[in-house]
Structure 1
Amino acid sequence: MKLLERLATDAFEDEYFNMLFDKINKIYFQDIFREEVEVLNEKELIDILRFCDILSNSTNNKHKNIAYKVVTLLYPFYKEKSYFKTVSTAALSKIGNFPALQLLNYDVSLPIDREIERDVKKSIQHIDDFGNIFLTDSQFSLYHQMRNASVFSFSGPTSMGKSFMMKIVISEQMKKGKKPNIVVIVPTRALIHQFATEIKKDLQHQLDNQNYTVLTNGNLEGVNIEGLHLIMILTPERLLSYLSEDDYPEIDCLFVDEAHKLASDQDKRSVTLYTAIERAIYANRSIQLFFASPNVSNPEVFLKLFNKDAQHVFYSNESPVSQQLFYVDLLIEQVAHYTENGIKEYYPNMVMNQNLDSLDLIEKLSQGQSNLIYCHSRRDAVTKARQFSLLYGEETLTRSQKKRINDAIQIIKKIVHPDYYLIDCLKKGVAYHFGSLPQVLRYNIEQLFKDGVIRYLFCTSTLLEGVNLPAKNVFILKNKNGNRNFKKVDFWNLAGRAGRLKYELSGNIFCIRDEEKDWKKINEILDNKEQIHMNPTVSNNLEKNLTYIVDAIQNKEIKKINKGEQDIVHYLANIISIDTLDLETDYQTPIISNLIKNNHENIIDIAKEKVQNIEVPYHILKTNQHMAVEQQESAYQFIIENEDNFKKTLFPRKIDYQNCLAILNQFYDIYKWDKYEKRLKSKNSLKYFALLMNNWINGTSLNEIINQSIDYAARNKRNISYYDDENRKQYDVFLRKNRIQVNTLINDLIKEIEEILRFTIQKYVNHYYLLLEENYGKEQAGSNWSNYLEYGTRNSVVIILQNMGLSRYVANLLIKEHPTYFTINDGTLINVQKESLLKVLEEGSIEEQEVLMYL
């Protein structure tokens, strides 16, 4: 062991150091919870800074993290002390945390060898394509390993900046002689917009110079890509849709963001993600493949899943932002402070005998900082945001803040409804955020929060999906995502957003318990975040549920596992059955390879029997493995049986309520929705969805759809289920003056558009159109309603503009009010007179912002 390493190890284990470290943790706690703050004497301060300097010279991440933690704990109290300035600058230089150094910005002189070492590091770790950005040591090590790799999997703390590291590698890829077409898979549509915006913002110069265009959908119809290379930000479903088109450009490079989603064992979309990656690999056997995940200590598992070389991996627990974790139990009036030296328990006056609830505590602890408040459901986020805004909302907003908030309110009134609760919250500097909010609203809320105009944001699991909204304080009110308990990786992905790189040295995480049923087995979640091992859903089920999978292949009833597991088992049974078709070629999918390796050829034989008489074309089965073979075959046979009257099988040219209802009724029968689709199980519900579908496809604005729904509910005295202000479930006749009912209707409607129209129904429409195209050819297959459902319009140019990143609202507005600025030839967008268009748009408007960003 080298001398510096031995000294660091001795310091780390030193009893006196650990006493001092416990003391500064306690001082930090006392300050946060407004207790009388102890102080270090001069000797103690000098001594702990000496320990910090020694630890910073280690190559051990644990030692470096402690050194950085010492700096962040001391900073609020001793930042003006000259000795602190010198040692903190030296320590951060040695650690290579240049964002923190830029934040401190101390003008101090270091010993000449330290100055030279820091300057050399800065020179090497500077990234030319991103302005005045210097990588941390950990980031630079990752960059150095990943830049020339063809396959790679990396993981680190949320604050390490996974998305930023992917953008650096994308920038490198764009400079290659043979320009690759690049796809980034993200888990949700909400994340598509964010990542596309970041690419456009951070890499605009490279995009222009290297002839790249950024798209947010796999539909290239009408997009002029001649002479251009592609960067596409897609969900797994959109990637599968892209891969279903034989004549689309080949994908050369695939980035999988939030790769831990491959191990979401209760979510069948983890299997869809696996399928999308497997299909992309099949389409291009030499594809470059990169996985990025948060806090996963075995990132090689994602490479192994696809039979790739598991040596090309990187894992770091070194965080460029320090975090303090507090568990506040309001029921027993105790605070547990989770430190590197164990859990320290306190009974501060702030929570003792105060009869506080979670909202009271948030107000007391927020201290004028940016605050993310995680709620386990959409309804809870809205309810708590409303309550908080009424109790503690801001009353002293500046004139410029009021203007920006008022601009956002006007957008909400136009797009949603004047009675939407988000308006009331915003007036008090509070907001809520969830995935199904319209894109324009999400973007506005995110910008207001990032710019500090609003300081309290109540949000749902959208943040778990990777939406980048860090804050000084993260409050976690439930250890659940919906009805499911957190997995450790989910908790730390969320908690990791405490502390904003480049803005703060540290962040605070507050887990609050104010109900008896919450936060069971808490230490299993909060302790030992360095040891988060993942087992992908596919691998896990092949190991543990193989008997059930065989039963599902044979259409036997499965009872002994929960509904989420049953869905995944049926999905995998379907995939195995379809994958056996590949055995007629020289290709084995990873799942088939696994079965053969483990001597389960009998299962393959059973699966072969299931598909031996299936007539659906192979490539359609393969890109629609989420859909049961029986469903696909039923739809295909319907088309075959009606070939003599083929017009009966086509989507009608005229799109109105009657034709929408006819299609839904037809799909209900041929796709057996009563068996396979819980949300569409009742045939009576199809009348409602036909009405919604007709309005959406024909471009009716969301505001108009909402107003029609309110009018219909009021006129027909429709009963509505909702929760009152006391959180009691009610079922009453709808009254348009009842704002709770109006907001419930609006949020339910928005969710139905996103989850039923644009997801569930759209996937069936897309599948059916592929069958029509296969059977009749593209010229005779008729209209593709799938695109209309996805984009909420029949206007081809509006579709193209949305694919380029614009919101539905802005795309419709531009084509309606400013059509002359767009040159269209045979359904393809040839040119946009961007500069001229900007001159007629209101300065600072959402239309101007989106045109500047995406066109």
Structure 2
Amino acid sequence: MTSINALEDIVFASHKFRDVLESARRLTVRSEFPTVEWYEELPPIDWGFALLYASAITSAQSERAQSAVLRIATACMLSSDAEAAHHAAAAALLERSGNHMAVELAESRERLPADAWQQLPGALRLEVVRSRIENSVRLSDGRVLPVNPFQGKFWDAVETNDWLSVSAPTSAGKSRIIREHFLEIARRAGSFTLVYLVPTRALIEEVSRDLRREVPPDVGVFTMPWDPDLADSSRTVLVVTQERLHLVLELLQSLTVDLLFVDEAQSLAGDARGVLLQHAIERTIRRSPDAQVLFASPLSSNPELLVEDAPPSRRSSSFVSETVTVNQNLIWVEHIDRKPQRRAVSLVADGNRHRLGDLVLAQRATSVPMRVALVAHALAGSSPGNVIYVNGPGEAEKVAKAVYEQLPALKEPDTELDNLRDLIKTAVHNKYLLADVLARRVAFHYGNMPLVIRTEIERLFGEGKIHYLVCTSTLLEGVNLPCRTIFMRNPQKGTGRPLKEGDFWNLAGRAGRWGKEFEGNVVCIDTDVDGLWPNLPRVRKRSQISRAVSTGLDDASGLLAFVRSADEVHDDSTAESLFAYLFSKHLGGESVERLLERIPLESERSEIASAITNTALDLTIPVEVVTRHTGIAPVSMERLLDSFRRSGKPPSDLELPLPEEPDSKARFQEALVRIGATMTSVFGAPRSGEDRRKWQLANLIVNWMKGMPLARLIDQRLAFNASLTSAVAIRDVMRDIESIARFHAPKYLACYADVLAVYSTELGLEATDRPDYAMMLELGVSRTSEVVLMSLGLSRTATVALAGFIGVDEWSRAEALEWLAAQNLDGLGVPVLLQREVADVLEIASRRAESSSA
């Protein structure tokens, strides 16, 4: 009997099949881009032959085979030459491949009649039935969940393994099947704590919102370590970043975890945050050795790396899935000599480029933003589902404005767009360009924008209300923002850092929404410009997962440089985080010898080991303070403590005030200056005389904690520096809020407060209750009542809009919900979108209360 691999080779050895596959590929590309002037007509496709050969490889698990089957089936459904019997056979191919959502999409778009497969002969109908049974899982509540091959394999593996690491393409449905696994556990009786670890705050809100709507009423979904109900919850789902998980473990010393899921596990490679992620994972597992540990990553070739640390007694496994649910067309768009309004369009397949036609631009492109906008509009017109990837917020705004100029004004007003524009003018600034470009269904999206704005943009884009969305590298951080076509030119991840091929294909995986589109398109612009595309993509490749800890030890030059200059103030570098990580393990009684063996030279291993030992011998900071502030080197804490000693001031003159106190800005500036002299340069390099930057940041930090709206913070920045334009001030303030107020300031000011407490103890003074600066800074509010509102799922923007009407400082969740339900939000002048936020929170709470009482 011929094996499936041998049969696959026979099929692809057929010149006729390869020609048919190429014709199918070009047919689908033509259906996507009707404005291109094609060079030649397509030859007719022998659908009987194509479908027969495709049917022979439906059981093959390779990406090549699955992509070909999907391509043939899709082209057949789109073709006007295919007969009804061919369409039925195409449906059978998709069903056999487990791609039920593509069948449902074809039926919804009337490319297939309902239940087209039932027109097939009896034997084939039975085969479809068998495939549907095989590609489904039965849930504990009796429902049957349709799955694709990756999801089915994951479901089997997660039931039989304690540690599991999986890799699959972006569109394979990882998030959905993980959520179903969480829900399946939540439906069972008993207490549990499940941790869903994500790389960004934006994903916290997205994942928690979906889970809150579906978990049983007695399950609490928590997103912050400061939630007052967290400690008392017996059935708990935690959706957190690595920073928040670290804080949870600090605040709840008795917390144990039953399941730890690490989403976007390739983030372990991410510099200082990658080190913290590994530290948080290891700390969780040490406390909960029996926890199930799951990792998921897109398009990685070595997921087994992440289960290497599983104890021998724990069952572990890993697999790479090549399930293809949506195909991508890779398109290159290049200039044509002396024809400034025309561009050559090429299709790249199997590493080969085929020039297919010309694209006519509306006008000459005299700047890069205009060129990107003209190409995107020439290909996509006014159709929805277009993402343009750019390399920074400023570029995003320029390209969005250039696209806006190509589009006509709306014939009729769109209420939802108008509501978003009103919120932007109220909550961000009345001169924010985003409100202007939205008038023609264009938006931009980057990580520093307020979450409520980004969330609404994503929703309207997903519903087709926004046609063009200009994005930065937030798309690489797991934001669930699929599209129909993604346009790129010189894509980078940070200034001067071209996208690696793995990142490119992860990004490209956003093109083509499973169940929403038959395929996606990846359009690369100016691929002919020398040096512009150092990693020019031709064939989809998987990337190697790495760990920042391992990378930093394999090349220890950065770590050695830090050790040799430990007396100097550093800039929150990866090397400092790595040293702090190693030192924390040493303090915890763990040997770091095995880790240091990764350093090639024995002399360098010895130097770093000695630095760790000597630092421990000289340590005067309590161990619990050092471990609480992982990521900050102990030598920096010692310098800060010594600075307190040398100041001659009593602790009361050094302590941080509450944000509403009259001297708060001056005191926070003094603290930032002291931190800058002893711990880190992230708040600005030390200078002689008045430090305007630190005063600026102290003002921002205090007003942010007080709950000042973003619009007022921007107006303050404009008043502080009259030379700034509104656009620059808006971007700068949003960047400082995310980078300084919500990240660096909580990290260092919380450490400052703890080291000051050590100083107080040395002087024999009693420790006083200290405000939780990490909480106030990350959330941007200072009252317990406001924290409770945010714990319910309200954004900071909505919370701040309501804060002035709240008459109490502390209340329970139930009291907060009762207060929200009693308010006349329209009468209070709360913007429509924020009213909807409140309504969503109340709806979820009401549904859970009804389910609980039923």
TM-score band, normalised by shorter chain: 0.7 to 0.9
What displacement does 1:17 show? 0.7
Partner of 1:359: 373
2:742 aligned partner, one-letter code: R
Secondary structure of the equivalent of 2:521? strand
Partner of 2:242: 236
Partner of 1:375: 390
Structure 2 matches for 1:106-505, cutoff 5 A? 106=112, 107-108=115-116, 109=118, 110-123=120-133, 125-126=136-137, 128=139, 134-201=146-213, 203=214, 206-208=215-217, 211-220=218-227, 222-223=228-229, 225-247=231-253, 249-264=255-270, 267-304=271-308, 311-330=316-335, 333-340=343-350, 342-346=351-355, 348-350=357-359, 355-356=364-365, 357-367=371-381, 368-390=383-405, 392-396=406-410, 398-399=412-413, 402-483=414-495, 484-505=497-518
Partner of 2:53: 51
TM-score (normalised: structure 2):
0.86
**Counterparts in 2 of 1:388 and 1:55: CA distance versus 1, 3 Å:** same
Assess if the C-alpha contact under 8 Å between 1:429 and 1:454 holds in 2: yes
1:119 aligned partner, one-letter code: V
What displacement does 1:653 show? 4.3
Assess if the C-alpha contact under 8 Å between 1:488 and 1:526 holds in 2: no
Unmatched tracts of structure 2, length 5 or more = 338-342, 366-370, 846-854
- Deviation string 1:422-471 (CA, Å, 9 cap, x unpaired) is 11101011000111111111111111111111110001111110111111
CA distance in 1, matches of 2:712, 2:607: 57
Partner of 1:72: 74
**Counterparts in 2 of 1:769 and 1:169: CA distance versus 1, 3 Å:** farther
- Deviation string 1:505-541 (CA, Å, 9 cap, x unpaired) is 1111111127946533344x44241x42222222223
CA distance in 1, matches of 2:627, 2:602: 24
2:407 aligned partner, one-letter code: G
What displacement does 1:684 show? 2.9
Assess if the C-alpha contact under 8 Å between 1:299 and 1:315 holds in 2: yes
Assess if the C-alpha contact under 8 Å between 1:475 and 1:512 holds in 2: yes
Assess if the C-alpha contact under 8 Å between 1:358 and 1:514 holds in 2: no
CA distance in 2, matches of 1:331, 1:198: 48
CA distance in 2, matches of 1:833, 1:361: 50
Partner of 2:634: 629
Deviating more after overlay: 16-25 vs 371-380: 16-25
Secondary structure of the equivalent of 1:470? coil
What displacement does 1:273 show? 1.7
TM-score (normalised: structure 1):
0.86
1:746 aligned partner, one-letter code: I
CA distance in 1, matches of 2:818, 2:142: 25
CA distance in 2, matches of 1:628, 1:263: 20
CA distance in 2, matches of 1:705, 1:673: 28
Partner of 1:765: 749
CA distance in 2, matches of 1:235, 1:180: 19
Structure 2 matches for 1:20-99, cutoff 5 A? 20-31=20-31, 32=33, 33-35=36-38, 38-41=41-44, 44-78=46-80, 81-99=83-101
Secondary structure of the equivalent of 2:332? strand
Assess if the C-alpha contact under 8 Å between 2:498 and 2:534 holds in 1: no
What displacement does 1:50 show? 1.5
2:398 aligned partner, one-letter code: T
What displacement does 1:8 show? 3.4
Partner of 2:718: 710
**Counterparts in 2 of 1:158 and 1:557: CA distance versus 1, 3 Å:** farther
Percent sequence identity over aligned pairs: 23
Partner of 2:850: none
Deviating more after overlay: 416-425 vs 656-665: 656-665
Deviating more after overlay: 445-454 vs 598-607: 598-607
CA distance in 1, matches of 2:593, 2:771: 34
Assess if the C-alpha contact under 8 Å between 1:473 and 1:509 holds in 2: yes
When the two chains are superposed, the root-mean-square deviation of aligned CA atoms in Å is 3.4
Secondary structure of the equivalent of 2:774? helix
Unmatched tracts of structure 1, length 5 or more = 721-740
Assess if the C-alpha contact under 8 Å between 1:300 and 1:311 holds in 2: no
Q: Give the paired residue count.
A: 804
Partner of 1:576: 582
- Deviation string 1:46-96 (CA, Å, 9 cap, x unpaired) is 211211122214344432221112222343224863133121111111111
- Deviation string 1:464-484 (CA, Å, 9 cap, x unpaired) is 101111111111122212321
Alignment partner of 1:613 out of 610, 618, 621: 618
- Deviation string 1:794-819 (CA, Å, 9 cap, x unpaired) is 211111222332111212334444x4
2:224 aligned partner, one-letter code: N
**Counterparts in 2 of 1:826 and 1:850: CA distance versus 1, 3 Å:** closer
Q: Does 1:684 align with 2:668?
A: no
2:245 aligned partner, one-letter code: L
Assess if the C-alpha contact under 8 Å between 2:198 and 2:240 holds in 1: yes
Deviating more after overlay: 376-385 vs 2-11: 2-11
CA distance in 2, matches of 1:369, 1:84: 30
CA distance in 2, matches of 1:119, 1:840: 54
CA distance in 2, matches of 1:826, 1:580: 41
CA distance in 2, matches of 1:692, 1:60: 54
Assess if the C-alpha contact under 8 Å between 1:464 and 1:493 holds in 2: yes
- Deviation string 1:280-338 (CA, Å, 9 cap, x unpaired) is 22332333221111100111112226778795112112221111111222366444422
Partner of 1:738: none
Q: Does 1:648 align with 2:663?
A: no
CA distance in 2, matches of 1:378, 1:5: 48
CA distance in 1, matches of 2:261, 2:124: 38
- Deviation string 1:194-215 (CA, Å, 9 cap, x unpaired) is 22222223x2xx231xx22222
Partner of 2:738: 754
CA distance in 2, matches of 1:621, 1:130: 50
CA distance in 2, matches of 1:224, 1:361: 51
What displacement does 1:694 show? 2.3
Secondary structure of the equivalent of 1:486? coil
- Deviation string 1:528-584 (CA, Å, 9 cap, x unpaired) is 41x4222222222322x13553443243799xxxx99x933343233223332233x
CA distance in 2, matches of 1:179, 1:290: 20
Assess if the C-alpha contact under 8 Å between 1:331 and 1:515 holds in 2: no
Deviating more after overlay: 466-475 vs 109-118: 109-118
Assess if the C-alpha contact under 8 Å between 1:766 and 1:786 holds in 2: yes
Partner of 2:849: none
Assess if the C-alpha contact under 8 Å between 1:62 and 1:318 holds in 2: no
